Amino acid sequence: MLAGIDYFIVIAYIIGMLLLGLYFKKFVSSSEDYFLGGKSLPFWAIGMSIVVSDIGALDFVGVSGQAYRYGISVGNFDWVGSVPAMLLAAFIFIPYFWRGGMYTIPEYLGRRYNQKVRTIASVTWILFFALDLGVLFWASAVLLNVLMGWPIWISIVATAGVVGLYTYFGGITAVIMTDVVQFIIMFIGGFALVFLSLYEVGGWDNMVDKIATMGPEYRNHFDIIQPQDTKSPFPWTGILFGLTFVMANAYMIGNQSIVQRCLTAKNEWHAKASMIFGSALKMFIPILVLFPGLMAVVVHPGLADGDQALPMMIKSIMPPGLVGLMFAAFFAGLMSSVDSLLNSTATLFTKDIYEPFIKKGADDKHYLKVGQITTLVLLLIGVATSPISSDFPGIYVAIQTFMSYFQGPLFAILLLGIFWKRTTEWGGLSALVIGIGFAIYLNVFKEQFFTIEDPFLYISWWSFLLGFIINVVVSLLTKKHTEEQLKGLVFSSKILVENKKL
Amino acid sequence: MFNFDWLSGVSQETAKMIFLSLYALIGILVLILPTEYVYQGIAKEDRHWWNNLKLWSIAVLCILASIYNHF
């Protein structure tokens, strides 16, 4: 439980976030303001927002737990699993989306392939985001219940009320600017924990020496590159093919909640810079989430559940005041994930489903209202579905794992769509459907195909490869698009050299 | 095949070199981007070395490479 000063910090944080978020209500007068922040935001705010949205409280606990079990190789996800993909996004994909005035990634897929591809991609994201919302609300409620002693339902309504209010009124500008504060709080809380943990274990070198003497299972704990035959989920082959080549790119280029932030930039330079700045900040994330897990190996050896590593470290080494700050950092991670999901899902629904299928050609105020009402409806769905998490504790992992299977085929059609003129609508559609089906098949029969513990990296690679091949073959067999249809949608070196407008 | 058994003979050191080479390749690709392109969006009179996104990218890649070199 928290001490008095911790309560004060947490409550001040929650009220501060609400007031800050509501302040941005005055900047919203059109759907572009609501979904793209009026294309007025600076790179530093967007970069911080990308990073803080990507790392939630559940990741704090989960990554520390994996670091406790598998060592420093978990850091690959934020290092090689982010930086190259963010540079590719910054210099190739984001300028296309930004210049094209797009709101969503499925919107690009719709223009490049057809409406079916756009709808499949959009509906898939909407379903996953909506399910994730319930899980995140439940996680927030459990945190508030354990540390503040608030009943679960009051905790859920409090979280939904605070995040929902500022997202409803302030749109993505409120989401990004509250993310900036949440980023700062997360970094202060995280680094405080790292420094205190380092002091506790007697410094980095001392920790490395101690872990080295703890037995053969810790032999590779400080090897970032794991051998191909490791039993951990992170062999270097999976990190290179599955993570670096597929999942990282799919996430940074194909994830609506990431890309939408870059589209709010005030100009093309800020859009590119936001990704590169974000990639620099991303390199600090393993220090915050991975190091405490490593240090817990020394401070709390022999934990049966690695996910207990971080809570145990907080409980055993953080003084009053800093516990409250750490809790605020956790809550910041959760809030930033929830507000991102709310705004991105509202954008996907309004632009990809409502506008083309339900009411075309309405005035802008109408779509602004639809976006706000969708936010409200999603909030209610999230609150109503949150108890599912208590009945099915593995649901968060299940959702994340299934989402990862969608990433390979999605990246295959994005990559070919932007780099190969010959790709056709039927190529894209068949690659998406067959690729997702293949990923599900490999997952169902994973024991027959794979030797490592959790082969999600391999599955994403093979489903990407099949999606890529299917796209090429079917495209060559079907009628190609005309030059007019492809205008501004396919990469051309002229865009780099002559800076042609799309 | 699905488990990349055909790469089982590659040592961890060689694998590390593959990652470092990848960063070097990305760095080269960034360097050959036209300077005009990386400044796009900034008025000509406001272009300085500190808002050259090539330099930002190279700095990030150098830090990344040093992490992989160390561990």
Give me the amino acid identity at A364.
D
A96 touches chain B (CB under 8 A): no
Scanning A454-483 for CB atoms below 8 A from B yields 455, 458, 462
Whether pLDDT at A462 is above 80: yes
Q: Lowest-confidence range among A54-68, A259-273, A470-484? A: A54-68
pLDDT digits (tens, 9 = 90+) for A404-442: 778 899 899 989 998 899 999 999 999 999 999 999 898
Q: Lowest-confidence range among A202-211, A427-436, B45-54? A: A202-211
Beta bridge partners of B3: none
Mean pLDDT calculated for residue range B17-33: 94
- Residue whose C-alpha is closest to residue A120's, from A441, A440, A360, A353: A353
- CA dist A241 → A234, A238, A404, B18 (Å): 11, 5, 14, 12
Pick A69 or A245 by higher pLDDT: A245
Residue A226 has φ and ψ, to the nearest 5°, of -95, 145
B38 touches chain A (CB under 8 A): yes
Q: Lowest-confidence range among A60-64, A299-303, B35-39, B57-61? A: A60-64
Beta bridge partners of A265: A41
CA distance A377 to A373: 6
Mean pLDDT calculated for residue range A187-195: 88
The pLDDT mean for chain A works out to: 86
Percentage of chain A beyond pLDDT 90 is 29
CB A262 within 8 A of CB A275: yes
- Residue whose C-alpha is closest to residue A140's, from A130, A127, A153: A153
Q: How confident is the model at residue A502 (pLDDT cuts 50, 70, 90)?
A: very low
Whether pLDDT at A286 is above 80: yes
Max mean pLDDT among A286-290, A418-422, A471-475 falls in A471-475
pLDDT digits (tens, 9 = 90+) for A102-116: 899 999 889 888 888
Max mean pLDDT among A68-82, A249-263, A408-422, A462-476 falls in A462-476
Return the structure tokens found at A383: 């609150």
CB B40 within 8 A of CB A95: yes
Q: Residue A498: count other Cβ atoms within 10 Å of its Cβ.
A: 12
Residue A409: half-sphere exposure toward Cβ, Cα within 13 Å: 27
Contact A496 B34 (CB under 8 A): yes
Give me the amino acid identity at A54.
D
Longest dimension (CA), chain B: 56
Contact B53 A90 (CB under 8 A): yes
CB A14 within 8 A of CB A163: no
pLDDT digits (tens, 9 = 90+) for A360-410: 888 999 999 999 999 999 999 888 888 876 666 566 666 667 777 788 998
B17 touches chain A (CB under 8 A): no
User: In b/e form, how buried is each residue of A445-460, taking b as 16+ CB within 10 angstroms?
Assistant: ebeebbebeebbbbbb
Which residue from A229, A449, A496 is facing B2, i.e. has the nearest CB? Answer: A449
Residue A477 pLDDT: 94
CB A15 within 8 A of CB A178: no
Provide, as residue numbers in chain A, all residues whose Cβ is less than 8 Å from the Cβ of B59: 280
* Residue A310 CB partners (closer than 8 Å, separation 6+): A60, A61, A64, A65, A292, A293, A296
Q: Which residue of A has its CA nearest to B68?
A: A224
Q: Lowest-confidence range among A243-247, A463-467, A494-498? A: A494-498
> Mutation test of the interface with chain A: which of B6, B56, B58, choosing the one with the most A Cβ atoms within 10 A?
B56
Mean pLDDT calculated for residue range A166-190: 89
B35 touches chain A (CB under 8 A): no
Mean pLDDT calculated for residue range A185-200: 88
CA dihedral angle for residue A341, residue A346, residue A151, residue A138, rounded to 10 degrees = -40
Contact B15 A268 (CB under 8 A): no
